[in-house]
Amino acid sequence: MLTALSTKLDSTGRLATAVRTGLAGVLSVALASTALADAPKPPEDSPKPGPIATLVTLARAQLPVYGFERHSALVNGHELVWWQKGEGQPVVLLHGVADQAATWLLVTRLIGDGRQLFLLDLPGHGDSAPSAGPLPMGTVYGGVEGWLKAHAHAAKQPVTLVGNSMGAWLSALVAHRHPEWVEKAVLINGGPIAPRGQDAGVGLMPASRDEARALMAAIRDPSSPATPDAMLDDLVARVEGGQAQRMFAAPDDLEGYLLEGRLGEIKPRIEILWGVADRLLGAEFPKVLMAGLPDAELRQIPKCGHVPQVECPAALIPQLKAALDSER
User: Which residues, 6+ apart, have CB-to-CB distance to 240 below 8 Å?
Assistant: none
User: Using 50, 70 and 90 to split pLDDT, how confident is the model at 49?
Assistant: confident
Of 1, 11, 15, give the one whose Cα is nearest residue 251: 15
User: Using 50, 70 and 90 to split pLDDT, how confident is the model at 5?
Assistant: very low
Contact 26, 98 (CB under 8 A): yes
2 vs 137: which has the higher pLDDT: 137
Segment 98-123 mean pLDDT? 93
1-10, 63-72, 152-161, 181-190, range with the lowest pLDDT: 1-10
For residue 273, report the phi and psi dihedrals to the nearest 5 degrees.
-115, 135
Q: Model-level pTM?
A: 0.88
> Percent of the chain, pLDDT > 70?
82
Residue 318: cis peptide before it, omega within 30 degrees of 0: no
250-273 burial code (b ≥16 CB/10 A, e <16)? bbeebeebbbeeebeebebbbbbb
**293 CB burial (10 A radius; 0-12, 13-18, 19+):** buried
pLDDT digits (tens, 9 = 90+) for 62-86: 999 999 999 999 999 999 999 999 9
